[in-house]
Amino acid sequence: MINVKFSEFKKNILEDANDFFSKEGFKFNKGKQLFKKAIGKNYIEYSFDFLDYFPNWYEYNFGFSISIQEIEKIKKEFNDFNKSDKILLNSVFFFEGDFVEELIGKEYKYRSGHYNKISSTDDIKGSMSRILYIIREKALPLSYKFCDLSSFQEYYLCNKQEVIRNLASETLFISTLIAAYLKNTSEYVELSRFLKSELDIEKSKGSDYKQLYILLDKIDQFINHKIGGNVN
């Protein structure tokens, strides 16, 4: 049974995180409870999510997003084209579970659902030390690496299967298509056809990705409008 208030628990975690991130040049937004750093016109945001199961235990994890200005600009144009007010706030998002050895090869729902369970006050410092190690050694280098368009393109356009592995992430689905378009039209056509083929395979297995079929069709229409041609 845990004997510290939830608000105090969160405060302790965020203070430890702030000590670490401030040394890396991140600024803490207390209202949104996230740590943000600009890299040129792009930026990285780290955040923590907390679950309250008092008095038995608390759970928490971290995640980070990367926003690439060129991708976000086209994404806004896409929303305007479709008269949509749906907001996708970043180019790609990673969960703590993406860096936990036993979860790396698992489905999206398992990686995104990973939380650290705290059932006693003594657990807090130990768990935070482990998390900061993961951030320092694994997450932070990756967030710096992917925080520009060319690096994002180089990785995801050469590793298209990563998009399939993360089909639950509509954000990555859109961002990778836009990144392909920003490289050249033929790259976009190749990716669009690949995703359609993979969605067909997933459908044959019984998976329901109807919304992604619709989304892909809308993006194709948008790109056709941009280039004044037909990518299909």
pLDDT averaged over 10-residue windows placed end to end, the chain, 232 residues: 89 95 96 95 97 94 97 94 79 95 90 92 89 96 96 96 92 96 96 96 90 94 86 64
126 and 37 belong to one structural domain: yes
According to DSSP, the residues that pair with 57 across neighbouring strands are 53
Handedness of CA 90, 142, 199, 104 (dihedral sign): negative
Closest CA to 175 of 95, 51, 38, 67: 67
At 127, the amino acid letter reads S
Task: Say yes or no: 199 and 155 in one domain.
Answer: yes
Let me know whether 78 and 103 are in one domain: yes
Domain count, the chain: 2
- Residues recorded for the chain: 232
Q: Are residues 17 and 95 in the same domain?
A: yes
Q: Which of 129, 145, 161 is the last residue of a domain?
A: 145
33 lies in some domain: yes
pTM of the model: 0.92
Dihedral sign, Cα of residue 159, residue 180, residue 34, residue 117: negative
Residues 35 and 137 in one domain: yes
Q: Are residues 170 and 216 in the same domain?
A: yes
3-class secondary structure, 104: coil
Per the DSSP assignment, residues forming a β-bridge with 38 are 43
**Together in a domain, 106 and 47:** yes
Cα→Cα distances 97→4, 94, 134, Å: 26, 8, 10
At residue 125, the pLDDT reads: 85
Same domain flag for 53 and 94: yes
| Cα–Cα distance for residue pair 2/7, rounded to 1 Å | 13
Query: What's the distance, Cα to Cα, between the start and end of the chain in Å?
Result: 59
Q: For residue 141, tell me if it sits in a domain.
A: yes
Q: Is residue 232 part of a domain?
A: no
Positive/negative CA dihedral, 68, 70, 71, 75:
positive
> Is 1 within the bounds of a domain?
no
Do 124 and 160 belong to one domain? no
| Residue 24: inside a domain | yes
Domain end (from 145, 178, 211): 145
CA–CA distance from 215 to each of 5, 39, 79, 84, 171 (Å)? Answer: 44, 30, 11, 12, 11
Per-residue pLDDT at 231: 65
| DSSP state, residue 37 | E
Distance between CA atoms of 225 and 219, rounded to whole angstroms? 10
Kindly give, in sequence order, each residue whose CB lies less than 8 Å from that of residue 48, ignoring residues fewer than 6 positions away: 10, 13, 14, 17, 33, 60, 61, 62
Same domain assignment for residues 128 and 23? yes
Report yes or no on 170 lying in a domain.
Answer: yes
Same domain for 80 and 51: yes
In-domain check, residue 35: yes
* 41: containing domain: 6-145
